[in-house]
Amino acid sequence: MTFEYVMLKGVNDTLAEARDLVRLLKGVPAKINLIPFNPWPGSPYECSDWDTIEEFADVLNRAGYASPIRTPRGRDILAACGQLRSESVKKSAAEKRREALEAGGSGADA
C-alpha cells in the first residue's frame, strides 16, 4: 500500500510524528511518499525544511518503510501533486456584475 504524506512545517513534521506514523502502520506493508508542500499566496501552511524532511524520512526508513521524498515541481505555476492554485481570486458572477456597473459598464457581459 502506498501512502502520500504532505510535509507541513510545524504541523506534522516532527520526529515524534514520524515515530507515531511508524506505530500506526506497524504490520502494514507500505511505502510512504513524502511530499514537500507547495505553498501559495495566502496559504496558512509552509513546507517543512529540507533537513526536517530528510530526518523524518530517516525514521521511516530505519523502521523498514521505503519513504522517497518527492522532488518539488510546479512551484513556479503553483501546481504540484494534485495541488493547483491560481494567484487570481475567483469572483462570483454577482461580484463581476457589480464591478462592471461601478466601472460604468452595463454588467451584461459578466
pLDDT at residue 39 in the model:
85
Q: Which amino acid makes up residue 58?
A: D
Number of domains in the chain: 1
**From CA 8, how far away is CA 21, in angstroms rounded?**
15
| 83 in any annotated domain | no
Q: 18 lies in which domain range?
A: 2-76
| 98 in any annotated domain | no
| 67 in any annotated domain | yes
What is the DSSP-derived secondary structure letter of residue 37? -
| 108 in any annotated domain | no
**From CA 83, how far away is CA 30, in angstroms rounded?**
23
| 88 in any annotated domain | no
pLDDT digits (tens, 9 = 90+) for 14-62: 999 999 999 999 999 999 999 999 888 888 999 999 999 999 999 999 9
pLDDT digits (tens, 9 = 90+) for 72-108: 665 555 554 445 544 455 567 777 788 788 887 655 5
